[in-house]
Amino acid sequence: MDKNNKTLRASKEIEIRFSEVDSMNIVWHGSYAFYFEDARECFGAQYGLGYLDIFGNGYYAPLVELKFNYKKPLVYGRKARVNIAFRPTEAAKIIFDYEITDLVDGSQIATGYSIQVFLDKQYQLVWANPPFYEEWKRKMGLL
């Protein structure tokens, strides 16, 4: 956590597997969703906001928006880092920003963001921040 601006960050290294590339040896665009998912799981494990934490408190957190901006191709055999940052909001949402960088030259491969909302166990949209989420934000120094 960056104490100056209260940004929670995590990162995950990935190695591009053969199953993730297309016939041009470039990472298939659909693989980026998995890379962002890996980063969300890493963040959740590091900060106590994983899917099982959310579920254990009586909620689901489905994705409602997922955006990618491709900057440079990523190819088979390369290693990259997926950086994730929690974007604070007062709304009942979880928003993350992402950046994928090449581990060899540090160049930017892609950026993006995701938005998750809360559903209760009856799959109804929750309009206010769930109590556990408010407590989590307080514990993280975000309130």
The closest alpha carbon to 45, from 68, 12, 17, 67, belongs to: 12
Q: Is 22 a catalytic residue?
A: yes
Annotated catalytic residue, options 22, 53, 97, 120:
22
Query: CB-based contacts of 28: which residues, under 8 Å, 6+ apart?
Result: 20, 21, 22
The rounded distance, in Å, linking the Cα atoms of 96 and 16 is 22
Dig out the tokens for 39 from the structure. 């980063």
Residue whose structure tokens are 């929750």: 126
CA distance readout (Å), 67 to 11, 49, 62, 71, 140: 18, 21, 15, 13, 26
d(CA 46, CA 41): 9
Say which amino acid occupies 86.
Answer: F
- Active centre residues (catalytic): 22
